[in-house]
């Protein structure tokens, strides 16, 4: 994914030939046109979120 340009509060991202408008606030500080971006999965946060959701569901469906 590459930052093609900025339009107001959005960055226009090109990924595999398609373009996407991403809120500029979602990009790392200092990101600029031409920068290559990567998306990473945060396994620890994913697991924590899953545990929190499970606990909430258990609380709601408890007898």
Residues 17-50 have pLDDT tens digits of 999 999 999 999 999 999 999 999 999 999 999 9
Which residue range(s) make up the domain with 32? 2-61
Residue 55, both tokens = 């606990």
* H helix intervals, 1-63: 43-61
Residue 63 has pLDDT above 90, yes or no: no
Q: State yes or no: pLDDT of 61 exceeds 90.
A: no
Nearest to residue 35, comparing CAs of 46, 54, 22, 53? 22
**Count of structural domains within the chain:** 1
| Selected residue with higher pLDDT from 62 and 15 | 15
Give the predicted TM-score (pTM) of the model: 0.70
């Amino acid at each position: 994914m590459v930052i093609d340009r900025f339009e107001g509060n959005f960055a226009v991202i090109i990924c595999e030939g398609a373009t996407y408008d991403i809120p500029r606030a979602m990009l790392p500080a200092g990101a600029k046109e031409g920068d290559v971006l990567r998306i990473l999965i945060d396994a620890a946060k994913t697991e924590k979120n899953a545990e929190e959701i499970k606990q909430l569901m258990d609380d709601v469906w408890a007898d």
